[in-house]
């Protein structure tokens, strides 16, 4: 063990760990060296990124997430398929199983970092793992403390025990598979068994923030954020996969605050993370130049395929379609460091409506904003998955359902309160189809969507004329620079008006059926914002 590693080692006896060789807060170069020495199949790509593999699991396992059901937090948690309860005894068994596995390793790695760029609202996170790849991943995704901050880091607020190479015991009560991701809010610990997919750590931290932040009146959000380069005023972009959230936040005219996880406090917004975790499938310097150049030394490429020259073949999905790249946010040229900004002037909900019913842009009242925030709508298109022969509606509450802890209404009420206090405008932007649904109409061009986003940021759309939509009840923007006026009126863009009316009612019914799940926890005002089906 090097002198630097020895000096960085510290006593983990209080965690039940007895491994002699512990490496704490190693630099990326040192973690590269350890990965090449000790990781199976780890290598360095020609672009300088560390290439590592997560084994059998190449994505998250949401059905295997468990939350300890305890007296202190049981009334706060939204129990159900997202937050499946487990008793503390089962958690203790899995916790001990993780400790026992980690104690069989020759060496362990520890990283101490922050979640949250706002020093008043950040939490201290400690990650304990046996793979250098996992340590480098969290070094990238958390906020990296300065040397002086590490010296006085003290007791962490949250600890992750990553023993993902070791399975859960399927005979343990409540275990549905060898994979188990177990969160105890009272013990402030996350235990990972049976999956080496690094994203479980990232989303485990986000889940904890989603619990702690609302208790302090801070809204935690699954969104990207940008800021005006001159005024510092921000805007938020919510959207599920395929809606354009990442692409539209890469705006050379604005500063990037973050691409995925943020909080809205009394002082403004701040990024929760110190890095970005981007999809790498079909990545090119033309399609995503900022991300492409960010994948260099210090970054992690996960489950990608290298050619003989060690160049990454981003088109090769033989391992998984969920190839990923993690990199420090400062690798993005227009990132604002520290990643904080003023209160949002605009909140934008992105949806890819494959039915072609929703207009390209609509203004939402506070009640409609809460309704569509809780709904979190987008659509899958035919041909993208086996058995999908026509557009299918997909809903994820608050645009981040798998990571919520409280009932969705808790986050929606916080959004509405902050929206009213800071006079933020809320918009619903359709990046999907117009003039007809998938197979009949056309996908709204990125050029037109960017024109809409620019007009939102400039304030032009706040002054534009609107019409009330008779089915969905929101205000449809009917004029926008650079966008044909006929296209802005969804019904007018359809050749077959009767087909539009029929499809609009169909989509409205899908909204209402989905919202029944959350209706008991919301106000009558929000219920009244439902579309007429």
Identify the DSSP state of 483. B
**Of 59, 63, 38, residue with least CA distance to 302:** 59
Q: Is 87 helix (H, G, I), strand (E, B) or coil?
A: coil
Catalytic residue among 254, 262, 324, 448: 324
Confirm whether 241 is a catalytic residue. Answer: yes
Confirm whether 320 is a catalytic residue. Answer: no
Confirm whether 485 is a catalytic residue. Answer: no
Catalytic residue among 260, 346, 353, 475: 260
**Cα angle value 11/122/18 (rounded, 5°):** 15
Catalytic residue among 18, 27, 119, 241: 241
Measure CA of the first residue to CA of the last residue in the chain; give whole Å.
68
- Taken in order 229, 233, 236, 237, the sign of the CA dihedral is negative
Other beta carbons less than 10 A from residue 127's beta carbon: 26
**Of 383, 380, 468, residue with least CA distance to 432:** 380
Confirm whether 234 is a catalytic residue. Answer: no
> How remote is the C-alpha of 505 from its chain's centroid?
31
CA distance 141 to 22: 21
Confirm whether 324 is a catalytic residue. Answer: yes
Phi and psi at 111, nearest 5°, equal -130, 130
Confirm whether 222 is a catalytic residue. Answer: yes
Strands 189-193 and 158-163: parallel
H or E element in which residue 276 lies: strand 275-279
Confirm whether 262 is a catalytic residue. Answer: no
CA distance 7 to 318: 42
H or E element in which residue 224 lies: strand 219-228
Residues 6+ apart with CB under 8 A from 219: 213, 263, 264, 411, 414, 415, 418
CA distance 127 to 162: 7
Residues 6+ apart with CB under 8 A from 299: 48, 49, 50, 140, 325, 326, 327, 328, 331
The CA–CA distances, whole Å, from 281 to 251, 385, 407 equal: 21, 17, 34
Catalytic residue among 23, 66, 203, 254: 203
Catalytic residue among 23, 24, 34, 60: 60
CA distance 474 to 365: 7
Catalytic residue among 246, 247, 351, 375: 246
* Residues with catalytic roles: 60, 203, 222, 241, 245-246, 260, 324
């Amino acid at each position: 063990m090097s002198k630097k590693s020895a000096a960085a080692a510290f006593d983990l006896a209080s965690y039940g760990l007895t491994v002699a060789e512990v490496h704490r807060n190693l630099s990326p170069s040192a973690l590269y060296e350890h990965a090449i020495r000790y990781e199976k199949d780890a290598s360095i790509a020609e672009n300088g990124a560390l290439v590592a593999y997560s084994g059998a699991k190449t994505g998250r396992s949401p059905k295997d997430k468990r939350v300890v059901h305890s007296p202190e937090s049981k009334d706060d948690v939204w129990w159900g398929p997202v937050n499946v309860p487990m008793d503390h005894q089962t958690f203790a068994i899995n916790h001990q199983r993780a400790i026992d596995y980690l104690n069989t390793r020759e060496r362990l790695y520890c990283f101490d970092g922050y979640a949250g760029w706002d020093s008043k609202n950040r939490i201290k996170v400690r990650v304990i793992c046996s793979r250098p790849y996992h340590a480098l991943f969290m070094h990238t995704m958390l906020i990296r403390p300065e040397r002086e901050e590490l010296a006085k880091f003290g007791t962490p607020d949250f600890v992750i025990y990553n023993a993902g190479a070791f399975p859960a015991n399927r005979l343990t009560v409540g275990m549905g598979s060898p994979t188990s991701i177990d969160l105890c809010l009272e013990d402030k610990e996350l235990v990972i068994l049976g999956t080496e997919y690094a994203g479980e750590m990232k989303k485990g931290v986000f889940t904890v923030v989603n619990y702690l932040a609302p208790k302090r009146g801070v809204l935690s959000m699954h969104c990207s954020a940008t800021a005006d380069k001159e005024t510092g005023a921000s805007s938020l972009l919510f959207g599920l996969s395929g809606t354009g959230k990442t692409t539209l936040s890469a705006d050379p005219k604005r500063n990037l605050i973050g691409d995925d996880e943020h909080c809205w406090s009394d002082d403004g917004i701040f990024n929760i993370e110190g890095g970005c975790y981007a999809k790498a499938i079909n990545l090119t310097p033309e399609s995503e130049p900022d991300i492409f150049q960010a994948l260099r030394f210090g970054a992690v490429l996960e489950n990608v395929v290298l050619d003989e020259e060690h160049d990454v073949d981003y088109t090769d999905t033989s391992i998984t379609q969920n190839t990923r790249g993690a990199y420090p946010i400062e690798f993005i040229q227009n990132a604002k460091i520290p990643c904080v900004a003023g209160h949002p002037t605009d909140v934008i909900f992105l949806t890819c409506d494959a039915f072609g019913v929703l207009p390209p842009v609509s203004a939402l009242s506070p009640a409609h904003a809460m309704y569509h925030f809780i709904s979190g709508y987008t659509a899958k298109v035919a041909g993208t998955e086996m058995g999908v022969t026509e557009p299918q509606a997909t809903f994820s509450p608050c645009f981040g359902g798998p990571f919520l802890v409280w009932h969705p209404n808790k986050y929606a009420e916080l959004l509405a309160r902050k929206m009213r206090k800071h006079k933020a405008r809320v918009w619903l932007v359709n990046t999907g189809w117009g003039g007809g649904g998938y197979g009949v109409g056309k996908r709204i061009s990125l050029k037109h969507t960017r024109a809409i986003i620019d007009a939102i940021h400039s304030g032009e759309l706040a002054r534009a004329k609107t019409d009330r939509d008779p089915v969905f009840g929101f205000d449809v923007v009917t004029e926008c620079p650079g966008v044909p006026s006929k296209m802005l009126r969804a019904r007018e863009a359809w050749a077959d008006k009767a087909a539009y009316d029929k499809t609009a009612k169909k989509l409205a019914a899908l909204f209402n059926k989905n919202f029944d799940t959350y209706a008991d926890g919301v106000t009558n005002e929000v219920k009244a914002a439902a579309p007429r089906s």
